[in-house]
């Protein structure tokens, strides 16, 4: 249904709602319960409370004659509160699913909520028919950027089809699912099972309601990494004026989480499902089915010339539960200190471990090789080396040397055959060490100072810069450490992106950074750092911060990088003192 159609019904309903709306607005207040993730408030839920303290919630709701008018009144009050306290983090409002069936409600919600960081929570256990009218209204809300959350999921054995059918942006597990998980192992396993299924079928944004003690929180953290939790263990429902004073309230919207779901190009089971439903396939073991799987098996791990083998692979990979041992092996590979990556014959990555994802900045599983080459031309050489090994019938592995960020690495490629197809497993580590120190600073993703112990000879005659941020302490003091951390992340990102491939960037400590340049030319380094400093100052000025850096330079002599860093540090402090006197950045050799 279009907005134009909804507008035609506005006037008729307007007359009926006005008198009742005023009564509702004076009968209730709103409290807000925080949702916390990793110790930080990441969202709020608006909760209605009667003004008459002697009246219970059930008694209040029993007197409500028009549920939709109540929903509209709550929406209006919530938006007023958000504006009053300038709330930036997401806020959710409970509504009756039946309100979504009303044309006027949909129009009003779009007009009031479009562009706002407010979502609508539908009560999952309240009966509503998922007919075309309901789904069309849901689609209209979502098309206008309004997010929908499912509240009380799992309450009273409620169905899951509401969350799955509307494609909920968030699912909130009811407190009944969390209750007693610290006393009942079966309930704990049931909760972890539901969490896994909702993540797979619906959304990764799951909120655990009703968490009341530390043990419940810890048990949830066994199967959910950095879960979003709402409950009395942290905070009850509170007035907004109290929430904004909490230390864990930052009023900064968190970055959208990276969904760990398979890319749409990898959802072979989904595509096969639609293919079988939409076509008159008499036999699932037909060659037609096998050809379809071959065309859509992006990773190349399912299809086999024998259709029965293909279907067996499909069941094992997409449908059967993996064993604890298999999960353990994958976890070992994923957490290995070496970079580990697996590619098929077409160059498509089928696995990259955490160290590789951290180095690249994202997972590249299933990404077309040409897309990666477009971003990084050097990836073409990796694929060519894969191809040489794949085509050599006599070799099963190959070792060579490559450079990254000024450090020499050994890359070992091993060829393996699975399901009649060839794959390459590549591991990468610094030469002569056997393993890679991929320990990077968790915040800035720069190397830590421990990285300097590798290949000291390779640093000889190279310029070292010691950087110290100007104005960082003032940002921490005036805006808090969370804003300070954000500035550090931006600073490091600008630093890394502005340097060359063989330059090494290290977070030395606090707001201090060391750069080992792949150059011995002082003048070139000075020009590059001055240009970078001007770029930094402009970038942060646009954000309202006075932030730049002072630096000192020195050259590595006799392989003694520690002495070079110490001298660069002294030179930096000389520049720092001049900066404070001149309010400008200078340099010292």
Question: Distance from CA of residue 517 to its chain's centroid?
Answer: 32
Q: How far apart are CA 416 and CA 425, in angstroms?
A: 8
The pLDDT assigned to 21 comes to: 47
Q: Which CATH architecture has domain 331-430?
A: 2-Layer Sandwich (3.30)
Q: How far apart are CA 440 and CA 354, in angstroms?
A: 12
What CATH number belongs to 449-588?
A: 3.30.70.270
Q: How far apart are CA 400 and CA 431, in angstroms?
A: 10
Question: For residue 108, what are its two tokens?
Answer: 């009003």
Residue of 74, 75, 79, 122 lying closest to 101 (CA atoms): 122
The pLDDT assigned to 585 comes to: 44
H/E stretch holding 26 reads helix 10-27
H/E stretch holding 403 reads strand 397-404
Contacts of 377 by beta carbon, 8 Å cutoff, 6+ apart: none
Q: How far apart are CA 288 and CA 128, in angstroms?
A: 41
The domains of the chain are located at 3-243, 265-319, 331-430, 449-588
- Three-state secondary structure of 464-507: EEEEEEECHHHHHHHHCHHHHHHHHHHHHHHHHHCCCCCCEEEE
- Report phi then psi at 439, rounded to 5: -65, 110
H/E stretch holding 207 reads strand 206-209
Helix, strand, coil tally for the chain in percent (to 5) = 45, 20, 35
Strands 587-588 and 548-555: what pairing?
A: parallel
Angle, alpha carbons 478-480-483 (nearest 5°): 105
Alpha-helical regions (H) of 324-365: 324-334, 354-360
Contacts of 530 by beta carbon, 8 Å cutoff, 6+ apart: 585, 587
Residue of 217, 145, 154 lying closest to 181 (CA atoms): 217
Residue 514 burial (CB count, 10 A) = 24
Q: How far apart are CA 407 and CA 456, in angstroms?
A: 10
Alpha-helical regions (H) of 266-401: 268-278, 287-296, 307-314, 324-334, 354-360, 369-375, 379-391
Residue 344 burial (CB count, 10 A) = 20
- Strands (E) across 96-180 are located at 118-123, 148-153, 170-173
Q: Which CATH class, in words, describes the domain spanning 3-243?
A: alpha beta
Residue 310 burial (CB count, 10 A) = 20
- For CA atoms 276, 280, 285, 290, give the dihedral sign: negative
Q: How far apart are CA 298 and CA 294, in angstroms?
A: 8
Burial annotation 111-140 (CB, 10 A radius, 16+ → b, else e): ebbeebebbbbbbbbeebeeeeebeebbeb
Strands 228-230 and 28-37: what pairing?
A: antiparallel
Task: Say if residues 582 and 507 touch (Cβ distance below 8 Å).
Answer: no
Q: Longest Cα pair distance anywhere in the chain, in angstroms?
A: 87
The position carrying tokens 């209204």 is: 137
The pLDDT assigned to 487 comes to: 94
Residue of 337, 422, 412 lying closest to 382 (CA atoms): 412
- pTM, 2 dp: 0.55
Q: How far apart are CA 412 and CA 254, in angstroms?
A: 39
Q: How many residues does the chain have?
A: 589
- Report phi then psi at 223, rounded to 5: -115, -10
The pLDDT assigned to 338 comes to: 84
Tens of pLDDT, residue by residue, the chain (589 residues): 444 444 444 444 454 444 444 445 678 899 999 999 999 999 999 999 998 888 888 888 888 888 898 999 999 999 999 999 999 999 999 998 889 999 999 999 999 999 999 999 987 555 677 788 988 999 999 999 999 998 888 875 545 667 677 778 899 999 999 999 999 999 999 999 888 888 877 788 999 999 999 999 999 999 898 999 999 999 999 999 999 999 899 877 665 444 433 344 457 887 888 888 888 888 889 999 999 999 988 888 889 999 999 998 888 877 765 566 666 677 778 877 788 999 999 999 999 998 888 878 888 988 899 999 988 888 888 899 999 999 888 788 888 877 665 567 788 899 998 888 999 999 888 766 554 444 578 888 888 887 776 555 668 889 999 999 999 999 999 999 899 999 999 999 999 888 887 788 999 989 999 999 988 899 999 999 999 999 999 999 999 999 999 999 999 998 888 999 999 999 998 887 776 655 544 444 4
- Strands (E) across 131-205 are located at 148-153, 170-173
């Amino acid at each position: 249904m279009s907005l134009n159609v909804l507008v035609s019904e506005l006037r008729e309903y307007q007359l009926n709602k006005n008198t009742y709306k005023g009564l509702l607005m004076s009968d209730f207040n709103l409290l807000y319960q925080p949702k916390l993730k990793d110790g930080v408030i990441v969202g709020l839920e608006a909760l209605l409370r009667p003004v008459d303290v002697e009246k219970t919630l059930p008694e209040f709701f029993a007197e409500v004659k028009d549920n939709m008018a109540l929903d509209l009144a709550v929406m209006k009050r919530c938006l007023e509160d958000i504006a009053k306290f300038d709330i930036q983090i997401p806020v959710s409002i409970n509504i009756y699913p039946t309100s979504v069936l009303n044309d006027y409600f949909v129009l009003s919600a779009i007009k009031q909520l479009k562009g706002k960081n407010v979502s609508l929570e539908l009560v999952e256990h309240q009966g509503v028919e998922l007919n075309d009218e309901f789904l069309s209204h849901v689609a209209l809300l979502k098309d206008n950027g309004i997010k929908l959350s499912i509240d009380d999921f799992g309450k009273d054995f409620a169905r899951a089809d509401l969350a799955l059918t509307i494609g909920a942006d968030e699912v909130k597990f009811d407190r009944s699912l969390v209750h007693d998980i610290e006393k009942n192992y079966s309930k704990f396993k049931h909760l972890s099972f539901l969490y896994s299924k909702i993540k797979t079928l619906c959304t990764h944004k799951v909120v655990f309601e009703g968490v009341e003690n530390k043990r419940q929180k810890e048990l949830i953290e066994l199967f959910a990494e950095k879960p979003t939790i709402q409950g009395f263990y942290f905070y009850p429902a509170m007035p907004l004026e109290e929430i904004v004073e909490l230390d864990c309230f930052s009023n900064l919207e968190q970055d959208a989480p990276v969904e760990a779901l398979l890319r749409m190009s990898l959802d072979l089971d989904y595509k096969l499902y639609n293919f079988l439903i939409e076509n008159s396939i008499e036999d699932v073991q037909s060659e037609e089915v096998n050809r379809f799987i071959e065309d859509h098996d992006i990773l190349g791990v399912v299809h086999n010339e024998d259709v029965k083998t293909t279907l067996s692979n499909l069941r094992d990979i997409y449908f059967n539960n993996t064993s604890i041992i298999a999960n353990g092996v994958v976890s070992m590979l994923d957490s290995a200190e070496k970079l580990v990556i697996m590619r098929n014959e077409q160059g498509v990555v089928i696995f990259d471990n955490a160290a590789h994802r951290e180095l690249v900045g994202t997972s590249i599983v299933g990404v077309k090789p040409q897309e990666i080459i477009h971003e990084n031309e050097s990836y073409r050489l990796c694929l060519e080396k894969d191809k040489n090994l794949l085509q050599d019938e006599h070799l099963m592995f190959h070792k060579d040397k490559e450079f990254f960020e000024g450090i020499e690495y050994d890359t070992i490629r091993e060829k393996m055959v699975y399901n009649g197809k060839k794959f390459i497993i590549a591991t990468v580590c610094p030469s002569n060490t056997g393993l890679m120190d991929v320990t990077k600073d968790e915040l800035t993703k720069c190397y830590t100072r421990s990285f300097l112990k590798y290949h000291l000879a390779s640093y000889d005659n190279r310029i070292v810069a010691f950087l110290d941020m100007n104005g960082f302490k003032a940002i921490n003091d005036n805006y808090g450490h969370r804003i300070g951390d954000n500035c550090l992340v931006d600073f490091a990102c600008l630093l890394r992106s502005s340097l060359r491939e063989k330059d090494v960037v290290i977070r030395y400590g606090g707001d201090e950074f060391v750069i080992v340049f792949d150059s011995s030319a002082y003048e070139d380094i000075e020009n590059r750092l001055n240009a970078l400093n001007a770029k930094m100052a402009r970038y942060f000025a646009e954000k309202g911060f006075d932030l730049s850096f002072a630096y000192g330079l020195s050259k590595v002599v006799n392989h003694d990088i520690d002495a070079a860093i110490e001298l660069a540090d002294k030179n930096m402090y000389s520049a720092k003192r001049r900066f404070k006197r001149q309010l400008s950045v200078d340099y010292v050799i």
